[in-house]
Every structure is written in structure tokens, then in C-alpha cells.
């Protein structure tokens, strides 16, 4: 919205003007999204609903984090994180996912400008970086399973594979979603429903990176520190 139309709304942050005289949203600035003056637009409700889903997803992750935190010392005589984790790989994974979150943001900026070519390009970069991240994670899991440090070795490793594997699954599903978005954008262009989906995807991808921050800090860095 332009600054001119937003002017008095910005200076009246609680929009008491729209509520005060029992108005149902008539007046200069109808109080939308407050139960008066009509519902919020579909774009807002869809994105807000997805925001709620993301928060519930993060709460599910918090349960995995809690079990990992409780079980992180329960190695049952098996290998500990200090012996298993390779911090160079974790640093590479972190860089890949962070950059892919950044390029995902650039894709959304291109969507905001309604540039199909730029959106497709940045979505492709985002997907490739995400795939590289997933490759490193699968490589790590395969190495650990090969060293007899699979999920059945100890409670610590069960919690580790559940937590990190759950995040990896999210990244994998996100990649499928991203591919679908690129195909739909190619065929359909910037339709309103596609704009909503692209926006939800961007939220999802940023949320995955936020969860990864917690994983590399609490699982890898703390696990590998003396």
C-alpha cells in the first residue's frame, strides 16, 4: 500500500478510529481482519494458516529436541558424538542450507516483481543447494551406519537419527514441493493460487533453516565440544 493511503492508519496503530463508534468497518479505513469490515483476504488467511502449521511443526521438533537433550549422554558404551561428528561436513551443510534460504528469499523478491525468469532461476538455485545439503546428510548417515553406529546402537543414536532424520525428511519433501512449484509456475504463470503456494513454500523453507540452526548448535557443536 502507498504511504499516502496508509498515513493515518500508521499513526493510529490500534485503529481505534475504526472501532470506536461501533462501526462495522465503514468510515475511511474499514477495520479489516478484526471481525468487522469483512474477512481478511485469502492470501492472508492461507499464509496465516500455514504459519500456524509451521509453529506446530516446530513444536513437534521441540519434542525431538527434548528427547535428544535427555538422551545425549546415553551412549550405552557405543560411540559418542565427539567420535562420530565431522564438523567440516556440518559447516558445509550449514553454509549450503543458509545460502539456499537466502536464494529462496531472492526468489520471493523476484516473485514480488512478477519476474518469471528470475523466480525460476532462484528457485532452481535454492533446490540445488537443498539437494546438496541432503546429499551430505545421507552421506553422513551412510557412513555412521557403516561404522556400526546406526539408530539401534544406543539411545543417543536413536534420538540423533530421529531428530536429524526428521529434519532431512522435511528438506526432502520441501525439494519435491519446490519442483512442483517450478513446474506449476512454468505452466500457469503468476496466478493468485500459485502466488499463495509460492509464499507458503518460502515460509516453509525459512522455517527449515531456523530448525537447522538449533540442530547444528545443540546436536553437532555441543556434541563435538570437549
Partner 1 sequence: MSDIESRIEEELDRHDTAPGEESITEHELAGGLSGYLLGFGLAILLTIASFLAAQTELIYQPAVISALVVLAIAQMGVHLVFFLHITTGPDNTNNVLALAFGVLIVALVVIGSVWIMAHLNLNMAPMTAPQAEMMP
Closest CB to partner 1 among 29 and 177?
Answer: 29
Cβ–Cβ < 8 Å for 162, 141: no
Q: Is 210 a residue that touches partner 1 (CB under 8 A)?
A: yes
Largest CA distance in the chain: 72
Residue 182 CB, nearest approach to partner 1 (Å)? 19
Closest CB to partner 1 among 48 and 142?
Answer: 48
| Interface residue with partner 1, options 95, 116, 173, 179 (CB under 8 A) | 95
Contact region with partner 1 (CB under 8 A), list: 127-135, 137-145, 178-186, 211-219: 211-219
Size of the site for partner 1 (CB under 8 A): 67
Q: What is the b/e burial string over 37-69, where b = at least 16 CB atoms within 10 angstroms of the residue's CB? A: beeeeeeeebbeebeeebeebeeebeebbeebe
What are the grid coordinates assigned to 143, written together? Answer: 557412513
Distance in angstroms (rounded) separating the CA atoms of residues 149 and 135: 19
Q: Site residues for partner 1, window 160-199 (CB under 8 A)?
A: 192, 199
DSSP letter assigned to residue 225: -
Closest CB to partner 1 among 45 and 142?
Answer: 45
| Interface residue with partner 1, options 19, 27, 46, 197 (CB under 8 A) | 46
What are the grid coordinates assigned to 5, written together? Answer: 493511503
3-state secondary structure 60-85: HHHHHHHHHHHHCCCCCCCCCHHHHC
Q: Is 33 a residue that touches partner 1 (CB under 8 A)?
A: yes
Q: Is 152 a residue that touches partner 1 (CB under 8 A)?
A: no
C-alpha 173: how far from its chain's center? 12
Q: Is 5 a residue that touches partner 1 (CB under 8 A)?
A: yes
**What is the secondary structure of 128-161 as a DSSP string?**
HHHHHHHHHHHHHHHHHHHTT-STTS-HHHHHHH
Q: Interface with partner 1 by CB under 8 A: which residues?
A: 1, 3, 5, 9, 13-15, 29-33, 38-44, 46-48, 51-52, 55-56, 58-59, 62-63, 65-67, 69-70, 76-77, 87, 91, 94-95, 98-99, 101-102, 105-106, 108-109, 112, 192, 199, 202-203, 206, 209-210, 213-214, 216-218, 221-222, 224-226
Amino acid at each position: 500500500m502507498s504511504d499516502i493511503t496508509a498515513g493515518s492508519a500508521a499513526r493510529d496503530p490500534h485503529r481505534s478510529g475504526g472501532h470506536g463508534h461501533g462501526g462495522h468497518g465503514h468510515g475511511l479505513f474499514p477495520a479489516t481482519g478484526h471481525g468487522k469490515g469483512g474477512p481478511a483476504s485469502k492470501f492472508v488467511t492461507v499464509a496465516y494458516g500455514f504459519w500456524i502449521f509451521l509453529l506446530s511443526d516446530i513444536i513437534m521438533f521441540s519434542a525431538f529436541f527434548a528427547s535428544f537433550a535427555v538422551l545425549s549422554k546415553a551412549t550405552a558404551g557405543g560411540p559418542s558424538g565427539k567420535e562420530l561428528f565431522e564438523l567440516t561436513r556440518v559447516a558445509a551443510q550449514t553454509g549450503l542450507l543458509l545460502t539456499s534460504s537466502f536464494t529462496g528469499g531472492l526468489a520471493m523478491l523476484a516473485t514480488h516483481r512478477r519476474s518469471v525468469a528470475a523466480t525460476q532461476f532462484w528457485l532452481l538455485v535454492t533446490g540445488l543447494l537443498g539437494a546438496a545439503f541432503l546429499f551430505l546428510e545421507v552421506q553422513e548417515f551412510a557412513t555412521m551406519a557403516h561404522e556400526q553406529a546406526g539408530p539401534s546402537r544406543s539411545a543417543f543414536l536413536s534420538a540423533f537419527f530421529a531428530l536429524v532424520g526428521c529434519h532431512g525428511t522435511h528438506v526432502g519433501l520441501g525439494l519435491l514441493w519446490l519442483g512442483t512449484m517450478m513446474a506449476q509456475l512454468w505452466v500457469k504463470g503468476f496466478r493468485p493460487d500459485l502466488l499463495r503456494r509460492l509464499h507458503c513454500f518460502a515460509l516453509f523453507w525459512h522455517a527449515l533453516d531456523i530448525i537447522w540452526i538449533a540442530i547444528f548448535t545443540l546436536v553437532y557443536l555441543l556434541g563435538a565440544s570437549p
